[in-house]
Every structure is written in C-alpha cells, then in structure tokens.
Chain A
Amino acid sequence: MTPKEGTLITPADLAGSGAQRNDPDIYGKFGRFGGRYVPEALIPALDEVAAEYEKAKNDLGFVREFEHLLRTYAGRPTTLTEVPRFAEHAGGARILLKREDLTHTGAHKINNVLGQALLTKRLGKRRVIAETGAGQHGVATATAAALMGLECVIYMGAVDCERQALNVARMKLLGATVVPVTNGSQTLKDAINEAFRDWVANVDHTHYLFGTVAGPHPFPEIVRDFARIIGVEARRQVLELTGRMPDAVCAAVGGGSNAMGIFHAFVDDANVRLYGYEAGGRGADTGEHALTLTQGSEGVLHGARTFVLQDEEGQTLESHSISAGLDYPGVGPEHAWLKDIGRATYEGVTDKEAMEAFALLARTEGIIPAIESSHALAGALRLGRELGPDAVILVNLSGRGDKDMGTAMKYFNL
C-alpha cells in the first residue's frame, strides 16, 4: 500500500513499512469485536463524530495542525532511551524506552486529546467531557480544553480522586470541573457510565473526549489513530539506533491506548512480537486483578463487544490494581481481536512485580516511571530473560511517575 499524503495513518514515517491500517469494518468491528451497543439516542452523535473524523483525517490542513501541536506543544518526537543498567536485570537483552513520559503533561494521553480537541472544534461543539482513572487523561483533556478555549467537565471515580489527589488539583487549576463519581465501584468504569449519561443529555453542544481505545465505534479507531504516532516514531528510532527491527514491543494494557499507540505501526511486521501486560493486582488467583484479556470472557461493556471481567450472568466484576490507570474490567476491542488472531500476547504483571520494576528503573537509570508503565517494564524484565542477550526489546514508557509518589511512599515506606 502506498502511503497517502494527508492522512494520519500513513505519513512519510511509514514509507516502506508496508503497514496496513487494520481499520474496523463499517459496523466498527475488528473481527467479531467492537461495534456499538449504546442507546439509540447516541447513534446520531457517534455517526457525526465518525463522519467528521473521516473528513478530518483526509484533510491535509487538519493533519498539519495536529502535527504542529504535537511538535510545538506536546514536545514530539519523544526520544528513545537505551537503559543498559536496567537491562542487566533482564538477562542482558537490549531494552529501549519510548519516552512518552517526556511529553507535555507527562503521559501519552496528550496525543489523543489534542487530536480530539481539534475534532471537537471541527464539530462546532464548545464543551468536552471525559472520564479519567489515574487522572492522566483528565489532566490531558483539561490541558487541551484550556489551550483551545473549551468548557471541560471530568468524571472521576471518588476512590480514584482520593488516590490521585494531585491530578485532581491539576485539573482544577487548568479550569476543569471535576465531578467525583460515587456510584458502583467508584473507579474508572463508573466514571465512564456517568460521562455517557452526561453526553446523552448534552450531545448537541458536547463532545465526549473518550480516553482510550475502548467504547463504541468510532472511538477505538480514533483514539488509536491519534496515539499511533508513538509507534511510528519508535519504529524509525529503533531502526536508526540498532539497524534492525525490535524482537518485541512491550506495553501496559488497561483500556489499551498506549499499547495500541505503540503496537499499531508494528502489526504487519510479522517478526516483531507484541506483548501487552495487564494488571495482575494481588495475583491471578486472588480475584483482585484487572486481567481482562487473560482471565476475562467475551462480552459487552461500555458500548463494545470485547473481553470483560464478568460473572456467569454478565454482571461486571470489580477490578483491582495498584495503578488507577489499569484498574478497568474491560479492554479495547482491537486488543481482543489481536489476541484472538494470535498476533499479540497478553500476560499479567502483579502489583508487586510492577512496583519492583518501578523502583529498579528509578535506581538504575534515574527515571521514575508511572506505575502503569512499570507493568510493561516488569514484563520486559521477564521477556529479556526469556529471549536472551541478543534480543532488542522496545518498551512504551507511557508516563512519568510523579503522580504516583503518594502510592510509592506508602508502598516503600519512603
């Protein structure tokens, strides 16, 4: 396929990679996953977003504005850092970190929100709402809303508000209204329910700036496309640094946006293994985890067919993770599809393994990662020992750990 100029998907970066889009079908399906399970009232709004996005991604003006913001505001391209002292603990494999932690606001979420905020303006809407778990998507949305003069309301589980108090303060400072959600498990899934309720009532002037590659079509495709710059840059950077493709790409998976962002450019590189690491929480056999792909079953949650942590009657189970950003009982449908066709491998990483990797990266390399990203780091340590010293492993360091210092102080008695 020849890269077409003026699309977000195939900029010059991709020339020669032969990468395909792997777009969902007209019903928003990746294989049998995805689609739309939503109240009929929202269908016209989803159609409107999908139609406007189709126009936008083929509009060179839109693409240039997005790329300009990524470069001059978000701080792209982010660098690639080799971490040899950390890699000594991974059987000597070469480990390369894609430094999304160095973006403005400190996590990969900024890529998606800048794209969707631009889309909001194209849609002629003046208000954005969003859900947030760790607070990173909320902060990123509040940031983009401030930049573009949009009214902003963030729904956040009351439990998450408490464990991510610093991010709540950041959102408020950025001019957003933060609504603590007190029903259900008071975490990310309930924040999403509440955001949908707001959207259906205010859809004429509000865009739901969805934060991950889950939800009803077209969100999984849009969020992936705005995040896929991560993999596009990383693929080129790994080639430049090592002269070859990586053996494996590792990313943490909650809803799955940072993972789709780095995976997508590699999906057609058959020799590059893709590894997603879910939150194993207190352990796979404790029932206190967020192992959606590895222990969940097929179902529908938040508007899409995907893997879900649910009981035998389809009631969603509560997830657990030390990391708020991975504490979600669903996952994006494209991940469900990549698992189903055997293209990507998904494994669990426990709270303990993640916190060890968190501390190890800080001590050996002077980088404090987000606890979410620490799941990918822990996975890379395991994978490196398996693949041996000749392996090159690319890890998406999706965010920085400043927001997690409260958790770290408690965990390590600092």
Chain B
Amino acid sequence: MTTLQAVFDKARAEDRAALVGYLPAGFPTKDGAIAAATAMVEAGCDVIEIGLPYSDPLMDGPTIQDAVHRSLTNGTRIADVLRTVEGVAKSGAATLVMTYWNPIGRYGAERFARDLASAGGVGTITPDLTPEEAEPWLAASKGAGIDTVFLVAPSSPEERIGKVVACCTGFVYAASLMGVTGARETVNAAAEGLVKRTKSLTSLPVCVGLGVGNGDQAAEIAAYADGVIVGSAFIRRLLDAPDEKSGIAAVRDLASDLARGVRR
C-alpha cells in the first residue's frame, strides 16, 4: 500500500508535482472503472480518488453528475466502491475515496473507515463535511489509520483555512474556483493565491483541483502547488468514447499528457 506521505515525498524528490486522478466507482461499468483507473496509474497518476456515487451531488457539474447517475443506474453499492478501491490500490497508487458525507454517516463512520482501510484505501476527501461537523469522522479515521482530506476555497478567509487544515492529514485540497466540478478553458487565477495562503498555515502538501483538463494547465499549477487534481476531463473521455476499450485508451493518453505536464 502506497501512502500519501510516500507519494508526496517521491514527487518532491523528483522536483515535480503529484498527479491525482478522479473517477467514480461503477463508471463506465464496475470493472471498467478499475481498468480505467489502473490505466491512469500506469500512465502516471500518483494518487487515485474513487468517487462514491451519491444521489445528490450538489457540488458537481454536469459531467460528474452524468457519470454518477450512470453508476447508480448500474447498481453501484458501497461494497462495489470498496472493491474498486481494492482493485486500484493493487496498481500501486495511493487510493482515496471521495464522498459526500451522508453515505458514510449512514454506513457508520467507524465501519466505513475500517472497511476502507481493509480494502487498501489510504483516506477520504469529504467535500461537504465542514470542520464543525467533522469530529466523528476524524476520530474514526484516526482509529483506522487513514488520512482525512478537506477542501479550502478561494472565498475562504484565513481563519477558515486554519480550521480546515487542522482537520487535514495527507494533503489539503484547494478548489481553484468558486463553482462546481468540470474542466474549464483556463485555470482560475485565484488558485495560486489560495495555495499561497494555505501554505502559510500548514506544512501539508496542497493540491489544486476543479477545472483542470490538460497538460498545459497541469504544468501551470505544478509551478506553485504540490499536486494537480483532474476528474471531469477523464470522465469526459469515457463519456465521449464509442466503447469502453477506446475510452480507456483515451483516458491513458490524457493521463500521459498530464503526467508530462506536472514534470515540466
């Protein structure tokens, strides 16, 4: 099992940013998600976030909404999410679960943390869990030995960033823009300032996500952040492909392009 610590140590030693890729479990199919994520790792992703599909993804744009809807229609359950984590972790990437809070809360915080750790998962990213509500999850994660990643946003004042980073282990997720997930033409200028403000309050790695879709953007972010997070652009490749096989090939190409980007 590769830890987040090991990933960022290695990237730092190679004087580059880490590459983080996102895919929801069960998309395009249950096995297809494992195959696609494995291709992403082979082509250069250091960290994989496996999305836990949720019925009400209120911070996601149309691309992830579409993928998640298909995944739920495919009958994806938490057991499938854990199986996906297990499959992807074997590829050697540090594997996290990204999820809204309610599925964990309903499944049971301690049970989820334990089952995720058993599957080889190294942590979670919880976009709608605020520091004020985080205590049960922090305790459960600590008990299971997994990391807890939370988000900061361009709108976050220093005092909030302080509260959020105090909950984080592994890394801090900096949302590059005020908006939902989805690739954009340009990376928001607010991202660099946010990374700077966050780094002044923590020694943890800071990764930038939201709106990143190609190698040039990855290179731009890699100049000031410890990691680059890409999600919707991978999903878009799978959605646009005529079949799963060519979709996975397109995902591999994108991961290669991004991997070159973080090494420029």
Contact = CB atoms under 8 A, between A and B. Distances in A.
Contact of A300 (B65, B102, B153, B154): B102
B155 A41 contact: yes
Interface size class of A (residues with CB under 8 A): 35 or more
Nearest to A27: B132
Contact of B101 (A37, A40, A192, A316): A37
Given A37-B101, A203-B178, A315 B55 contact: yes
B156 A43 contact: yes
Contacts of B102: 37, 299-301, 308, 310, 314
A310 B106 contact: yes
B130 A38 contact: yes
A302 B58 contact: yes
Interface in A272-310: 297, 299-303, 305, 308, 310
Nearest to A37: B128
A200 interface: yes
Interface string B137-179: 0000000000000111111110010001000000000010011
Q: What is the interface of chain A mostly: helix, strand, loop, or mixed?
A: mixed
Given A313-B106, A315-B103, A200 B59 contact: yes
B106 A312 contact: yes
Contacts of B129: 37
A189 interface: yes
Given A203-B155, A310-B106, A40 B132 contact: no
A196 B60 CA distance: 10
Nearest to B129: A37
Contacts of A38: 128, 130
Contact of A303 (B127, B128, B150, B151): B128
Nearest to B154: A41
A230 B105 CA distance: 36
A36 interface: yes
A310 B133 CA distance: 20
Given A38-B128, A314-B102, A193 B178 contact: no
Interface of B: 54-61, 65, 69, 72, 77-78, 101-107, 127-130, 132-133, 150-157, 160, 164, 175, 178-180
21 contacts: A36-B130, A37-B102, A39-B58, A39-B59, A39-B151, A40-B164, A41-B153, A43-B130, A44-B156, A44-B160, A183-B65, A196-B59, A197-B60, A197-B61, A197-B180, A203-B178, A204-B178, A300-B105, A310-B106, A314-B105, A314-B106
Please give me the 8 A-B residue pairs with the lowest Cβ-Cβ distance, nearest first. Answer: A314-B106, A41-B153, A201-B179, A314-B103, A314-B102, A316-B55, A300-B102, A193-B58
